[in-house]
Amino acid sequence: MERNVMIEEISDGKLYSPDDIVKAEANGCRGCSFCCENMCDTIVLDPYDIYSLSKGLDKDFTVLMLEEYIEIGLHDLLSMPHIKDRGTGCGFLTEAKRCSVHSFRPGICRLFPLGRYYHDDTFSYILQTHECKVEERNEVKVRDWLETEELERYEEYVLKWHGFVRNLTNFMKEPAEPGVKRNIHILFLKKFYEDPYDLNKEFYPQIYERMKQWQEMA
């Protein structure tokens, strides 16, 4: 989800790479679950998040919706899922205020309090300065904080997905025949979220094939 703000307004103004050191580690967030309780609709899920949650929980997109872990919202002018607020916050938050899906948590959760700043056909990491309520944080290498397997491969996917969504968003801003945009909402959600991924196969070839098929339909 893009935010039209100056980088200095939301961060320390620095751009970080995976091997840079940043003050992001909040002592394991012990005693604090503010972001899990108050930021659900900002946790927009991409297809990799759905693949990971489905694999980790053995619940496909439809079940995640029916069990009210996720819901659909309008993000960047497209229908996409985000974490559902159950009144007490994220449904993956335990009574002990810990994340029950931590090892396969969504990408935005994995980033926080970092964010991504897209520029020059790539992106860098930023340290957001207002969202996290923990004041005393420890230094950690960005790569270690993200705890993401095959990070470079994942970053390549993130960049491609961001570009893909941005192009669709730009199209949605343009005038169109009645019903066209509604059909895009339905087809986009079905193609990239509702249609199950093969959990016994790698994610990346599957998503790139779906993106290719979409481009061929356009």
Within a domain: 79: yes
Within a domain: 64: yes
CA angle 57, 62, 63 (to 5 degrees): 40
Within a domain: 2: no
Write down how long the chain is.
218
Within a domain: 1: no
The 10s digit of each residue's pLDDT in 20-44 is 999 999 887 877 888 999 999 999 9
Residue 146 CB partners (closer than 8 Å, separation 6+): 18, 110, 111, 114
Mean pLDDT of the chain: 93
DSSP result, 19-77: TSEEEEE-GGGTT--HHHHH-GGG-BPPHHHHHHHHHHHT--HHHHHHTTSEEEEEETT
Split into its structural domains, the chain has a count of 1
* Range(s) of the domain holding residue 18: 7-217
The 10s digit of each residue's pLDDT in 77-103 is 999 999 999 999 999 999 999 999 999
Pair of tokens at residue 62 = 């439809």
The model's pTM: 0.94
- Alpha-carbon distance of 39 to 98, in angstroms, equals 15
What was the pLDDT predicted at 157?
98
Q: Is 4's pLDDT higher than 80?
A: no
Pair of tokens at residue 18 = 């995976």
Query: What is the helix (H) or strand (E) element at residue 117, kind and residue range?
Result: strand 114-119
Ranges of H-type helices in 58-179: 61-66, 107-111, 142-146, 151-172
Q: Is 1's pLDDT higher than 70?
A: no
- Alpha-carbon distance of 28 to 32, in angstroms, equals 9
Pair of tokens at residue 1 = 């989800």
Within a domain: 42: yes
What was the pLDDT predicted at 10?
76
The 10s digit of each residue's pLDDT in 119-153 is 989 999 999 988 888 878 899 999 999 999 999 99
| pLDDT more than 70, % of the chain | 98
Q: Is 117's pLDDT higher than 70?
A: yes
The 10s digit of each residue's pLDDT in 168-208 is 999 999 999 889 999 999 999 999 999 999 999 999 999 99
Q: Averaged over 213-217, what is the pLDDT?
A: 94
What was the pLDDT predicted at 206?
98
Residue 218 CB partners (closer than 8 Å, separation 6+): none
What was the pLDDT predicted at 3?
59
The 10s digit of each residue's pLDDT in 58-77 is 999 999 999 999 999 999 99
What was the pLDDT predicted at 139?
95
What was the pLDDT predicted at 5?
66
